[in-house]
Every structure is written in C-alpha cells, then in structure tokens.
Amino acid sequence: MRCLQTIALSLLIGLSVAAQPAGDTVPPPANNLSIDLQFMGRGESRYGGMPAEASSDAEEEITEVGKSNFLLSRTRLAINFKRDWLEARVTPQHSGVWGQEGKGSFNLYESWVKLAARNGLFAQVGRVALNYDDERIIGSDNWAMASLSHDVIRTGYEGHGHKVHAILAYNQNAAVMTAAFSQYTNGSQPYKTMHTLWYHYDFPKLPLGASALFMNIGMQADPDVGTGTLFQQLAGAYVKFTPKRWLAEVSYYHQFGHNEYNIKIDAWMVSTKVSFRPANYGITVGYDHLSGDKNFAVPPKGGLGYMRHEVIRGFSTVYGAHHKFYGAMDFFYVSTYMGGFTPGLQNNYIDLSYSPLKGLDLSASCHYLATATKLEDLDRTLGYEFELQGSYAISRDVKVSLGASLMKGSNTMEQLKRSSNNNSLRWGWVSLLVNPRILSIKW
C-alpha cells in the first residue's frame, strides 16, 4: 500500500506549509478548552439464546444460558483543546458490569492531535473513534460500553463538497525486537495493519451524497498456517438521497483477498432503506443481504462442525456499529455460529416512529430474518424479531431510554445457535445518558 503511504506523506508536507500563519496578517490565535462528562448506565434483562461454549475436545451437550440480569455503565471525560489550526482531544474511559471482578476496565478511548489548514488539508494522529457513512463498515459502535477506536494516522482534504481521507494503521503487541503482533494474544486491535481510502461528494443543489470506500486489512497468519501477514480487501459505495421528507440509502460492499487461515475470500453485501416522515410520525422499510458460505453444514449437537472451505463467502461487517443493524438483540455479527462459518443473513424490516411531544421519541419495529444460503435439511427462515423502543430528553444533558424485544425463532435458529429456547427469546433494557459540558473557557 505504498500509494496510500505516499498520499499521506504528501498531505502532511502540504499541511505543514499551509497551516503556518502568514506574517502579521493573522490575528493572535484564541485558545479554547472544554471538558465534557459522559455517564451512560444500562440495565438489561435477557432470557435465552446465548449458549455456553463447550471445550474444543468435548462431546457433551452444550449448556443453556437462561435468564440473566445485569447492570452496565460507562464514564468518559473528554478534554478538548483548539487553537486556530491545532486541535487535540484526550478521553479516558471506564466501563464494566456492576460488581465485576477487577472493577471493570479503564483505558484511553481517544487521544489524538489534529492539524487543519485553511485550504482544507488536515492531518490527525493518535487513537481515534472512526465513523463513516451509516457506520455499517466503520463505526464506533456507541451502544457497546467500551466502544471501538483505532490507533491511526489520518490525513485528507475537505472542501467544496469533496472529502477524501487516507487512514494508516500499524500495530504491534510490544516495543521489543523479538515480539510479533498477534490478534490472538494481547493485541489491542483486531488487525496488524489497516489502509483505508474514503471519498465522499455532496452534489451541489441536490440533496444527494455519495461515498466510495476501499480497505486493505492485514491479519497476522494463524500459527497453524505459518508466519507473516495475510491481506484481505473491502471495496464498496454508499449513496444517501434526502428529498424533503424522504430518506433513501443504498450501499454495496465486496470482500476479497485471504483471511488469517490463508483461505480465499469472496463475499458481498447489499443494503437498501427508504424512510418517509411527513409530520411527527414516520415509516421506514429496508432490506439487508449479507452473503454466506456455501455448503454450510450444521453439525450434530456436541460436534464442532469445522470443515475446510475452499472459499470464504460469508460477509464480515469488520469494524462497524453492529447494534444499529440486523435486529437490536444482536444475534448476528456479534455472537457467532457453530464452526466459525456463517450462512449469511437476509433482514427484511419495517419501523414505525412517532414523536408526540418535544423530546419524546417512540418506535416499533419488526424484522423477518433468514439465512442467505441454502442449508442441508433446514429451512432458511431464522424467525421474527419484534421491538419497542422509547426515549425522552429530560433536559439538554439528560436522556432516558428503554426498550423491549421478542424473537420468535425457528427450528433453524435453534440448530444454528445451539439453544433449545430460541423459539421464545426476550430482552428488556433501560438506559440513562448524562452528557453535560462541565467546563468551557477561552483565553
């Protein structure tokens, strides 16, 4: 990916020149410092659907996980600084389950500096929460308490309707000569290298925007395969059209290359969504299709089901905000199928929304879920998921939300997820978000 590296270095050189003040014509820069506090707490009650995994050499039945109640919380303190063409942010974060051994996890969610020139060039380096388009492929996944951020160098240009970003990442486990990165041990990122190029254009005088995305992801080879880095690629496009009270979104992505087991990849996905909101109510209909592995075999209970595939055809949503898509209960692309392969997914859904009062938003959704590929001796239908959600902004800084979901799973769902109670899965949650700006000064 020398091309991306050359682009990034060229932008950095151009930025260093363009960002400099021109003599005495520029007034002294003003310093802006702000501190934002965020507390998010969520209580959840789940029943069924998540089986406990047996050991790799076990033949016994896999144990069911029944009802579970727990409380989650996250606290962030975002420190922001800006002065003319210089910007920086540091966000320490604590997240965990109430009563968790070790008192949860404390980490640095964001830590970056950014230089931005007046001609639209910019450069950013550090730990960054990346969000692109609808966050299907790259997103911070804010629903998850720890969320997702990346250690990257990001350079680009924004201006006159054009946006182009080049992202470079290179990860190691430790700063010692004998260490080799491995996503299987204590690596903080799920890849060794990542090169991304994103371009977006907003059409003048039209409520239309379009994006193109290319990713080259380097994964450390599985120890059973060998050493070195194996590369997989993703390329696709996203289009958003917003005429008056309508919203239409279309996206397509294709994956190719090789995974960490040196198996060839040939997978794809397509998504369409149309929304209409004439007043304080609206309706959304959509369809997602994510390709799946051919000849997907469902092993008998207690079996592992591993089989050699010549080509991986199951699409991976890589680093997206998974909770936003494919049903709120997160049974797909968060928890895996038996054997590590996937039969893909078809997601047909309809969503009704209503805002009877200022700050109050209500919605009801229904998903019909099915596999993308034909299964041996099983129907494609996975089941139906019904969702109710509501949120109310008590004030500018305080918001409460709640939701309830019910999934009526099929026999196919039970076999794939290894759970005998997948025909009646229930989940309820209530959340509190407090997000005030506690300090803002200029000098």
The DSSP line for 169-233 is: EE--S-SSTT----TTTT-SSS-SEEEEEEEEEEPTTSSEEEEEEEEEEEEEPPTTT-SSEEEEE
User: Please, what is the average pLDDT of the chain?
Assistant: 86
Contact between residue 38 and residue 75 where contact means Cβ atoms under 8 Å apart: yes
pLDDT category at 399 given cuts 50, 70, 90 is: very high
The answer on pLDDT for 305 being more than 70 is no
Identify the CA nearest to 90 among candidates 71, 74, 76.
76
pLDDT in tens, 271-289: 999 999 999 999 999 999 9
Q: Percent of the chain scored above 90 by pLDDT?
A: 63
Q: What's the CA angle centered on 146, arms 34 and 252, to 5 degrees? A: 100
pLDDT in tens, 167-217: 999 988 766 655 565 554 555 678 999 999 999 999 999 999 999 999 999
Given this model, what pLDDT does residue 2 score?
Answer: 56
Given this model, what pLDDT does residue 392 score?
Answer: 98
Given this model, what pLDDT does residue 214 score?
Answer: 98
pLDDT in tens, 2-16: 555 555 555 554 555
Does 1 or 125 have the greater pLDDT score? 125
pLDDT category at 222 given cuts 50, 70, 90 is: confident
Given this model, what pLDDT does residue 339 score?
Answer: 58
Question: Is residue 234 helix, strand or coil?
Answer: strand
**Residue carrying the six token digits 């003048």:** 204
Given this model, what pLDDT does residue 53 score?
Answer: 47
Report the C-alpha gap between 136 and 324 in whole angstroms: 8
Given this model, what pLDDT does residue 132 score?
Answer: 97
pLDDT in tens, 23-56: 445 566 689 999 999 999 999 998 865 554 444 4
Token pair listed for 126: 């550090």
Contact between residue 109 and residue 127 where contact means Cβ atoms under 8 Å apart: yes
E strand map for 27-161: 31-47, 67-83, 86-97, 105-116, 121-128, 150-159
pLDDT in tens, 134-160: 999 999 999 999 899 999 999 999 999
The answer on pLDDT for 57 being more than 80 is no
- 2-19+43-442 is a CATH 2.40.160.100 domain: yes
Given this model, what pLDDT does residue 180 score?
Answer: 60
Does 49 or 270 have the greater pLDDT score? 270
pLDDT category at 416 given cuts 50, 70, 90 is: confident
Given this model, what pLDDT does residue 438 score?
Answer: 96
Which H helix or E strand runs over 347? strand 345-357
Does 88 or 331 have the greater pLDDT score? 88
The answer on pLDDT for 303 being more than 50 is no
The radius of gyration of the chain's CA atoms, rounded to the nearest angstrom, is 23
The answer on pLDDT for 103 being more than 70 is yes
**Residue carrying the six token digits 């270095």:** 9
pTM, whole model, 2 decimals? 0.88
